[in-house]
Structure 1
């Protein structure tokens, strides 16, 4: 028992975390992450095998050699699987993996398979060394496992450093902390091979990511926040007789643009899962400032005068202030920033002739440039009390004519190139009323 105390403790912690995760998932009915689930299946087996090999390597006189060799090979294979699964999970958390963007998944699976091939190929070279406190194994297969871990996790650190401006702050800190701690543990294992602390790595990963990202109870609270945001936006929309369904339609257009941007090389370093989620969730709040607009202007059954329009334009500035006040205690700083930018700057124009600040070009936050296209397109395509809805052809022409003046040229092109999908969304929206 003296050789497997650490592994036994790690296994208890992991099994307790898994039990809590399953119970909370069933209670909250929150969708779980498939890659994290894979880690929960692989890592406990790796810990069990770590304990088994720690025992067999110290009882070589009573354990058949082929049993010891086989268990060591399985242990190294499962550790390699844990490394690949963890890397895939972290990449999915930071950047997002989808059916349309599965290249990272293929890459990490390929490197994982290569590691396992090398581990199996070098299995015959495993050596069992007698230490002062405990015996341990060394050889080509062990080195492959170490190298694989440093390469995979090193890539994640490079990804975070190179794209730090666009990755959520909390995820950056938490991921870097976990990877550095794992790196320290493995370095200690390499320098002091008798310590046999490999099982701490999957334990730290499972526990750390459960606390930081996968706790279903915290995910449920986040969903409540999203529901509150949408309810808040609907409250404002219900005051405006002119914009029924505007929130839902513009959000759909924003999601479409974001999905297309993800596969555009120009935005590959910008678009990730958190940016897409935050912009999509902030889109309904773009007109939140209208809550401060007087009813006689907001609900006027006709075209506004110049004076009334000046008052109406203040909704952008008011919207930014309301966001800061309403969400000042929100932990998600990235969402709060994006929601503020969407509300305040979605009426800025690419040529600098918009409001409230007259920003131009890329001075306008990216999320607001996206919102501007969705907002204008929906506004001209829907009926107002002072005019009829414009034909789809004319609506697309307005976006086309606004390239470089009203709208970001690249984003406008992405929207126009998605005409079929836009028209499908328009038709779906029309059928739902």
Structure 2
């Protein structure tokens, strides 16, 4: 366990990787639970020498540290699989109530603990112990339910990582209940930390992911530098997309789809929506006036070309989910809800959700900003275009979400 903590801290500091607050908390709580597990395993076998109040106190600290570790790991996994609400933190409070209740019950029942004599060793049993068992079953059961209920929307690697370490902990729990003298509880913190470290927090993997994100941003910047009429188009559209995604997380229609990973992937893929313009000739891309019909047809090719570029460039990424989302945003962000868009003329919900979101952000920014061939449209007219396009150009449900966030959209416009 000490090796995991030291190597993780050194690697994240050296690689300048942002550390996860829940994993940091686990690195603090887990060693304490192991320490007091060993300490109480000694004191319970020296009942004559250790006064009962002292024994009770040490066991209380042990039970609390184990329960805190259970709560932290379940919150960590919830954050990984779904993600906490950042825009309205009050929504997160109910998630902590079961943990608070279990901690209170452990404290309330500590004086009813019994020290039993086994064939090999003495061990403790009682209400507080049962609460710890129940807390583990409840918290990890809830995480397992999330994985099962949302398996269609979660990355396979995260699902496998989560299920694998929950299964291991489950086996340890069953053995501990059947054979209470075995005292396997000290293995749980190590198994949990090792499983999370390998599957989620490995600095080398996270650094690779960071490089991939930087590469994607680099491509997007290169496109924007070629198209000198767009200004801050990439930053603004990304901010509009992020705003809509956060609103969608609180909408029953989308809350299962828009989990933490989906939000991150779409946010990172949004700047690549016009990457196909790399292949568009400068005479068309930088033309100061209106395009001819022939030139417009050439310009329209950037959507299909963008999808091809992403497939060829990002095919070896560690995250196939990101590649798929980036491809679909680039290829389909000019498709229309009524099927009259390009390049494939698909309609309705056959258009991927992220592409439908991108379409609204892209059009709104295009009409609300000054271009070399026209002035920016008045803000009321910009929102009217989005509203008028509901059901024809855009997904009407997403239009409603965008229009309801008008005040925040205007605030984002001011920031860029």
Q: Which runs of 5+ in 2 are unaligned?
A: none
Q: By how many angstroms is 1:64 displaced?
A: 2.4
Shift of 1:30: 2.4
Deviations 1:358-417 (A, max 9, x none): 111111111001100011111111223332221111111110100111111111111111
Answering whether residue 92 of structure 2 is matched by residue 111 of structure 1, we say no
Matches of residues 242-261 of structure 1 in structure 2 within 5 Å?
242-261=229-248
Q: State whether structure 2 residue 115 is matched by structure 1 residue 128.
A: yes
Q: Deviations over 1:279-329 (max 9, x none)?
A: 010001001111222233222332222222222212111111111111111
In the alignment, the residues of structure 2 paired with residue 398 and residue 254 of structure 1 have an alpha-carbon distance, to the nearest angstrom, of: 17
SS at match of 2:226: coil
How far residue 211 of structure 1 moved from its aligned partner, in angstroms, is: 2.3
Name the counterpart of 2:198.
Answer: 211
**Does residue 1:414 correspond to 2:372, yes or no?**
no
Whole-angstrom distance in 2 between the partners of 1:110 and 1:125: 24
Question: Residue 152 of structure 2 aligns with which residue?
Answer: 165
- More displaced stretch, 390-399 vs 233-242: 233-242
Which of 168-177 and 212-221 deviates more? Answer: 212-221
For 1:423, the equivalent position in structure 2 comes to 410
Counterpart residue number, 1:397: 384
Report the number of matched residues: 416
3-state SS of 1:351 partner: coil
2:312 is aligned to 325
How far is 1:42 from its partner? 1.4
SS of structure 2 residue aligned to 1:24: helix
Distance 1:115 1:245 in 2: 50
Deviation at 1:29, TM superposition (A): 2.8
What is the rounded CA distance, in whole Å, between the counterparts of 1:316 and 1:328 in structure 2? 18
Structure 2 residue 28 is matched with structure 1 residue 62: no
Cα distance change of structure 1 residues 246 and 104 upon mapping to structure 2, 3 Å threshold: closer
- 2:294 aligns to what SS in structure 1? helix
Match 2:286 to one of 280, 296, 299: 299
- Give 1:71's aligned residue: 58
TM-aligned CA deviation for residue 104 of structure 1: 6.3
Change (3 A) 1:101 1:222: same
Structure 1 position 339, deviation (Å): 0.4
Q: 1:48 aligns with which of 9, 29, 35?
A: 35
| Distance in 2 of aligned mates of 1:259 and 1:143 | 39
Q: Distance in 1 between matches of 2:304 and 2:87?
A: 38
Greater CA deviation, 240-249 or 392-401? 240-249
Q: Which residue does 1:222 correspond to in 2?
A: 209
Structure 1 residue matching 2:345: 3-state secondary structure: coil
Indicate yes or no: 2:314 matched with 1:314.
Answer: no
Paired with 2:413 and 2:87, the residues of 1 have a C-alpha distance of 23
How far is the alpha carbon of 1:103 from its aligned partner?
A: 5.2
- The CA deviation at 1:63 is 2.5
* Corresponding residue to 1:174 among 147, 154, 161: 161
Q: Given the alignment, which residue of 181, 184, 198 partners 1:194?
A: 181
CA distance in structure 2 between the partners assigned to 1:101 and 1:45 by the alignment:
33
Q: Deviations over 1:217-263 (max 9, x none)?
A: 43333222211111111112222233232111111111111122222
Matched, 1:30 2:50: no
Question: Mean alpha-carbon deviation: is it higher for 313-322 or for 303-312?
Answer: 303-312
Q: Does 1:285 align with 2:247?
A: no
User: Do the aligned residues in 2 keep the contact of 1:87 with 1:156 (CA within 8 Å)?
Assistant: yes
1:92 aligns with 2:79: yes
RMSD: 1.7
**Residue 255 of structure 2: aligned partner:** 268
Partners in 1 of 2:88 and 2:73 — Cα distance?
18
Asked if structure 2 preserves the Cα contact closer than 8 Å seen for 1:88 and 1:105, the reply is no
Q: Using the alignment, how far apart are the partners of 1:173 and 1:58 within structure 2?
A: 40
Contact 1:84 1:108 in 2 (8 A): no
Partner residue, 2:129 = 142
Say yes or no: does 1:83 pair with 2:70: yes
Structure-2 separation of matches of 1:375 and 1:241: 16
TM-score (structure 1 length as normaliser)? 0.92
Distance 1:277 1:171 in 2: 15
- Offset at 1:101? 4.2
What SS does the corresponding residue of 1:266 show, helix, strand or coil? Answer: coil
Take 1:380 and 1:241, find their aligned partners in 2: how far apart are those partners?
Answer: 16
Contact kept in structure 1, 2:85 and 2:92, CA below 8 Å: no
Between the aligned partners of 1:148 and 1:41, the Cα distance in structure 2 is: 20
* Distance in 1 between residues matched to 2:198 and 2:27, nearest whole Å: 14
